[in-house]
Chains A and B, each alone.
Chain A
Amino acid sequence: MAVLILGVGNILLSDEGVGCRTVEELEQRYQFPEAVRLLDGGTAGMELIGAISEADHLILIDALAAGRPPGTVVRVEGEDVPATFQTRISPHQLGISDVLAAATITGDLPASMVLFGIEPESMATGLALSAVVRAGLEKIIKAVVEELTGLGLPPLDLVDTVDGVDVVD
Chain B
Amino acid sequence: MSERIVIDPITRIEGHLRIECEVNQGKVVKAWSSGTMWRGIELILKDRDPREAWIYTQRICGVCTTVHAIASVRAVENALGLEIPLNAQHIRNMIIAAHGIFDHIVHFYHLSALDWVDLVSALKADPRATAALGQKLSGWQHNSYEEIKAAQEKLQALIDSGQLGIYGSGYWGHPAMKLSPEVNLLAATHYLQALEYQRSINKVVAILGSKTPHIQNLAVGGVANPINPNNQSTLTMERLFYIKTLIDEIGAFIHEVYMQDVAAVGAFYADWTAIGAGVTSYLAVPDMPMNTAGTTFDLPGGYIPDGDISKFQEIKSFQDTFFRDGVKEGIKHSYYDGDWTKHPWEEETAPKFTGFQEDGKYSWVKSPTFNGKPAQVGPLANVLCMYAAGHEPTRKYVTAVLNTVSSLAGSKVGVPALHSTIGRHAARAIRCALLHDTLGRQWQLLVDNIGRGDYATFNPPTFPKGEQRGFGFHEAPRGNLSHWVVIADGRIKNYQCVVPSTWNAGPRNGDDAMGPYEASLVGTPIADPQKPLEVLRTIHSFDPCLACAVHLVDGRRQEISRVKVL
Contacts and interface: CB of A to CB of B under 8 A. Distances in A.
Interface of A: 10-13, 16, 40-50, 53, 66, 68, 72-77, 80-84, 86-89, 91-95, 97-98, 100-102, 104-106, 116-117, 123, 125-127, 139, 143
20 contacts: A41-B213, A42-B214, A44-B63, A46-B198, A47-B102, A73-B565, A73-B566, A76-B561, A77-B564, A84-B563, A86-B165, A87-B559, A87-B560, A88-B10, A88-B553, A91-B11, A93-B553, A102-B110, A104-B163, A127-B44
Contacts of B566: 73-75, 116, 139, 143
Given A10-B62, A73-B566, A100 B165 contact: yes
Ordered nearest first, which 9 A-B pairs have the shortest CB separation?
Answer: A43-B62, A80-B561, A44-B213, A101-B165, A83-B561, A125-B40, A91-B12, A84-B561, A74-B563
A10 B68 CA distance: 15
A72 B565 contact: yes
Given A74-B563, A95-B13, A88 B555 contact: yes
Given A93-B11, A94-B553, A12 B62 contact: no
B558 A87 contact: yes
B82 interface: no
A122 to B, nearest CB: 13
Given A45-B63, A97-B166, A104-B158, A50 B202 contact: yes
Q: Which of B214, B555, B561 has the most CB of A within 10 A?
A: B561
A123 B195 contact: no
Contact of B551 (A46, A94, A143): A94
B553 A98 contact: no
Contact of A92 (B11, B195, B202): B11
Given A88-B555, A94-B548, A49 B565 contact: no
B452 interface: no
Interface string B59-71: 1111101000000
Nearest to A118: B566
Contact of B165 (A42, A66, A97): A97
B199 interface: yes
- A42, A44, A77, A86: most-surrounded residue (chain B CB, <10 A): A86
Q: Give the size category of B's interface with A.
A: 35 or more
B445 interface: no
Interface of B: 10-14, 38-41, 43-44, 56, 59-63, 65, 102, 106, 110, 154, 158, 163, 165-167, 192, 195-196, 198-199, 202-203, 212-214, 547-548, 550-551, 553, 555, 557-566
A74 B12 CA distance: 21
B67 to A, nearest CB: 13
B11 A40 contact: no
Contact of A12 (B44, B192, B564): B44
B195 A94 contact: no
Contacts of B203: 50
B547 A95 contact: yes
A10 to B, nearest CB: 6
Contacts of B551: 94, 98
Q: Which of B43, B62, B110, B212 has the most chain A CB atoms inside 10 A of its CB? A: B62
A126 to B, nearest CB: 7
Given A82-B165, A125-B44, A42 B12 contact: no
A132 B425 CA distance: 46
B192 to A, nearest CB: 7
A47 B213 contact: yes
Nearest to A89: B559
B565 A68 contact: yes
Contacts of A117: 563
B195 A102 contact: yes
Contacts of B559: 66, 87, 89
Contacts of B550: 94, 98
B563 A12 contact: no
A94 B547 contact: yes
Contacts of A50: 199, 202-203
Nearest to A49: B199
Contacts of B158: 104-105
A13 B15 CA distance: 11
Given A73-B566, A88-B10, A101 B557 contact: no
B434 to A, nearest CB: 22
A16 B562 CA distance: 22
A105 B198 CA distance: 15
Given A75-B563, A83-B560, A94 B13 contact: yes
B560 A12 contact: no
B558 A43 contact: no
* Residue from B12, B56, B559 whose CB has the most chain A CB atoms within 10 Å: B12
B12 A92 contact: yes
Nearest to B560: A83
B12 A45 contact: no
A16 B12 contact: yes
Contacts of A91: 11-12
A12 B61 CA distance: 10
A50 to B, nearest CB: 5
A117 B565 CA distance: 9
A98 B195 CA distance: 12
A48 to B, nearest CB: 7
Given A80-B562, A88-B555, A89-B559, A12 B213 contact: no
Contacts of A89: 559
